Structure 1
Amino acid sequence: MELRHLRYFAVLAEELHFGRAAERLHMAQPPLSQRIRDLERELGVRLFDRTRHRVQLTEAGALLLEHVRPVLSGVETAREAIRRIRPGEAGVLRAGVPPDTNPVVLPTLTADFARRAPGVLIELHELTTDQQLTRLREGGLDAGVVRHPSDTVGLESGPVARRELGVVLPVDLASAAGAPSRDASAHDVPSRDAPAPLRLRDLDGTPLIIFPREMAPRLYDHILTVCRDEGFLPGAIRHARNPHFVHGLALAGRGIHLNEQPAAPLPHGLVWRPLERPELAWTTSVVWVPSRHNEAVAAFTRSVTQGLKAAGHRITDDRLSDGEPG
């Protein structure tokens, strides 16, 4: 017994006229008659008495109608509930963020979004750039915060934010590369003196600790290309995504790591140094499927911009079109 057949039955029971019922259902009369006969055959009873001049419910039809009405009402209630959870309709906005998002971003983002869209619950998912792009195209996300370069063909994006990368490395290696040897990141943060910059070519041959390529293939290839162009060819490449594991590998002398300036002190024995030529950066923006853009996605885009600014990102391509500041 299919739900649509029950709906056909209920409409015919209300109209008691095949022509008017078919018109309400936006279908031709013969298919409606066939569906009613199919339903009667399945139940083994006659639901309507038909003559040339009138259609009437049988006793069995009246009994079925009593049971069908609450079923159809429940289905409509469920549909309305689903409609309400769509973004912008006092529901839920599903958004992705990179696993290594700076902790400063999230509280600013969520507080700002609550102010801009008080009736919408934001549901954040920790996903890599490529995972986000896949889910966006499949309809599993409403918006994503992705790193570039990435495959965003067919998607639209908001303002582009940039945060230059530096190097996380052991103190002795920083000293050998020409940076001060004192562990400023571990003990003197925040410092009035800017950390001494490094040149990538001075680290040539040192192993590199980097995120797995499947997390963001285009960004991964871009980083290695810039390193090569700057004279840094890693002696080995080791993959890690968890910050604790990354720092453990660096402390063990297993490589250096490229990342933005840490929001919290690094473990004792590690330092962060900026690069003399800031060619490497996290370049980030919100992306979405054009047909699913709405007020909630627009509010999320602005809130992400505020969160990234709070974490030290610069907005390099402001695509907000309504003139709202910041």
Structure 2
Amino acid sequence: MELRHLRYFAVLAEELHFGRAADRLHMAQPPLSQRIRDLEREMGVRLFDRTRHRVQLTEAGALLLEYVRPVLVGVDSAREAMRRIRPGEAGVLRVGVPPDTTPVVLPTLTAGLARRVPDVLIDLHELTTDEQLSRLREGELDAGVVRHPSDTIGLESGPVARRELGVVLPADHTLAAGAGTASRTVRMRDLNGAPLVIFPRAMAPRLYDHMLTICRDEGFLPGSIRHARNPNFVQGLVLAGRGVHLNEAPGTPLPHGLVWRRLEGAPLAWLTSVVWVPSRHNETIAAFTEAVSEGLAAAGHHMEDPPASEPRVPEQPSGPPASDEAGPEHLTSGLACWNT
């Protein structure tokens, strides 16, 4: 018995007319009649009473129909579920992007994807790196745009885009001298002892620890650490003299009273790539990866080869905190933007 024979039987049971049933099944009437006879032989019962004027279900046919209908519904549901689980093939690609994604990235990304796969809609979700990784593994996302280092074990990654970071300072800060000179650089060790404003560690633990490690290695041990995730709050804290902030060059002018300076030697950078579950990769995700690269390039990122593995996160050094906010015991980290 084949599934298609059961489907032929169910359609004929609904139509009770070989001609109409054959039309619905997009087949000729003689083959349909033969398949029904084959099914009756296999079942050992007559399923339909046939006369020149009508076709009727027998008692056996009516009983079989009760069993066949839920089977066919289940098969159709399974097929639909499998269709939806294939990224993009359900017509929608579910992806995550970091909350601080530069505005120019999104229109470039969406336009690039539309050129490559015009029949696929993109469903964008603003999520931190760890939120994306969790949803990818749960099957709630098809792909994510994440910051490294992060826990990508079991996932595949596309090309890595690099965007160097600088420091946001109050305009009257001693290291902001020459406020009109955007090319002026700051040595990280000259920030030593200054409070640092950084995103909460829970948002991206590996990235947080990696970033503070770089700060420590470059001679910048913050006198205290304040956590903030909203960009307006971050900028307000820096304006109020409550800390400095590490971030990429601003895409729009900073509020009056703030300046951005490059870091000497470019020790810090956003490292961003598309990640996905290997078994779910297809042409749509490949197209999305290319579109993301276009969007990041438009925002000033440049592409690097994918890393062989995520950078190692050193153990946290011990020591008393520098203040009641947070102290250098967290300096196993590094990056400082409010969202990751």
Scaled by the length of structure 1, the TM-score of the pair is 0.73
Could you tell me the percent identity over the aligned residues?
A: 69
3-state SS of 2:185 partner: coil
CA separation in 1, counterparts of 2:163 and 2:184? Answer: 18
Structure 1: segments with no counterpart, 5+ residues: 1-5, 22-52, 185-192, 320-326
Aligned to 2:243: 255
3-state SS of 1:132 partner: helix
Q: Is the 8 A contact 1:84 1:91 kept in 2?
A: no
Aligned to 2:138: 138
Could you tell me how far 1:119 is from its partner in structure 2?
0.9
Q: Which of 216, 220, 231 is equivalent to 1:232?
A: 220
CA separation in 2, counterparts of 1:54 and 1:128? Answer: 62
What aligned pairs does 1:260-275 form with structure 2 within 5 A after superposition?
Answer: 260-275=248-263
Q: Is the 8 A contact 1:87 1:120 kept in 2?
A: no
Could you tell me how far 1:148 is from its partner in structure 2?
0.6
Q: Which of 251, 265, 274 is equivalent to 1:286?
A: 274
1:31-52 per-residue CA deviation (whole Å, 9 max, x = no partner) reads xxxxxxxxxxxxxxxxxxxxxx
Q: Does 1:157 align with 2:182?
A: no
CA separation in 2, counterparts of 1:64 and 1:284? Answer: 57
- What is the RMSD computed on CA atoms of the aligned residues? 3.1
Q: Does 1:309 align with 2:297?
A: yes
- 1:88–1:157: structure 2 CA closer, same or farther, 3 Å change rule? same
Q: Is the 8 A contact 1:163 1:282 kept in 2?
A: yes
- 1:90–1:115: structure 2 CA closer, same or farther, 3 Å change rule? farther
Aligned to 2:190: 202
Aligned to 1:189: none
Could you tell me how far 1:216 is from its partner in structure 2?
1.1
What aligned pairs does 1:11-90 form with structure 2 within 5 A after superposition?
Answer: 20=42, 54=45, 62=62, 65=65, 82=81, 85=84, 86-89=86-89
- 1:318–1:237: structure 2 CA closer, same or farther, 3 Å change rule? closer
CA separation in 1, counterparts of 2:38 and 2:79? Answer: 28
Structure 2: segments with no counterpart, 5+ residues: 1-5, 14-35, 48-56, 308-340
3-state SS of 1:165 partner: strand
3-state SS of 1:89 partner: coil
Q: Report the residue type matching 2:162 in the other structure.
A: R
Across the two proteins, how many residue pairs are aligned to each other? 268
CA separation in 1, counterparts of 2:201 and 2:94? Answer: 25
Could you tell me how far 1:195 is from its partner in structure 2?
2.9
3-state SS of 1:209 partner: strand
CA separation in 1, counterparts of 2:37 and 2:123? Answer: 45
Q: Report the residue type matching 2:45 in the other structure.
A: R
3-state SS of 1:272 partner: strand
CA separation in 1, counterparts of 2:251 and 2:128? Answer: 20
CA separation in 2, counterparts of 1:18 and 1:238? Answer: 77
- 1:129–1:15: structure 2 CA closer, same or farther, 3 Å change rule? farther
Structure 1's consecutive aligned runs of 4 or more residues displaced over 2 angstroms after TM superposition are: 13-21, 53-69, 71-90, 179-182
